[in-house]
Amino acid sequence: MNTRNRPGRMISPQPTASRPPYGLGTPAGALQARPRPAVFALNAETMSNPACVTDTGRPCRHPLTNEVENQRLLAHEVSIKNAFDAIVPVLKRIAGLQHEADFIERAQAIAGEQLGFELPVQILADAWVTDLDMPALYGECVMRTLRLMADRAQARHPHQGTDEVVAFFLDSGYHAVDISPCSDGRLKGLLRYILRLPDGAVRSSKAYAGAMFDVDANVKRWVETELMRFREGRPVTADAGTRYLKIGVYHTSSSNPTHEGCAAHGSNEIRAGEKALERLREFRQAIENSFCCGASVDILLIGVDTDTDAIKVHVPDADGEMSLYRTVDNLVLYRQTVNDDENTARLKVYQAILAASAQDGWGGGNGEPHEGMRRLIATLLINNLSQIEYVCSNWGGRYPDIGHAERFINVGDGFEEFQLRNLAYFAHLHTVEEGAPDMDVGIKIFRKLNISHGLPAPVAIHYRYDSRVPGCRERTVERCRRVKSAIEARYADLTQKDLLVCGMTVQDKRPGSSIELVEADAA
Going by their DSSP bridges, the two strands 310-314 and 327-329 should be labelled as: antiparallel
Q: Is 126 among the catalytic positions?
A: no
**How many CA atoms lie within 13 Å of 84's alpha carbon, on the beta-carbon side?**
22
Note whether 356 and 315 are within 8 A (CB).
yes
* CA dist., res. 142 & res. 329, Å (int): 37
What does DSSP assign to residue 131?
Answer: -
Report whether the peptide linkage leading into residue 235 is cis, meaning its omega lies within 30 degrees of zero: yes
The angle subtended at Cα 197 by Cα 297 and Cα 26, nearest 5°, is 125
Distance (Å, whole) CA 291 – CA 125: 62
**How big is the CA angle at 162 (ends 351 and 318), to the nearest 5 degrees?**
35
* Active-site annotation holder among 133, 171, 178, 184: 184
Side-chain half-sphere of 234: how many Cα atoms within 13 Å? 19
Question: Within 13 A of 463's CA, how many CA atoms are on the CB side?
Answer: 22
SS (H, E, C) 377-409: HHHHHHHHHHHHHHHHHHHCCCCCCCCCCCCEE
Closest CA to 273 of 211, 318, 316, 218: 211
d(CA 403, CA 260): 6
Looking at the DSSP bridge assignments, the partners of residue 523 are: none
Q: How far apart are CA 408 and CA 400, in angstroms?
A: 19
Residues labelled as active-site residues: 184
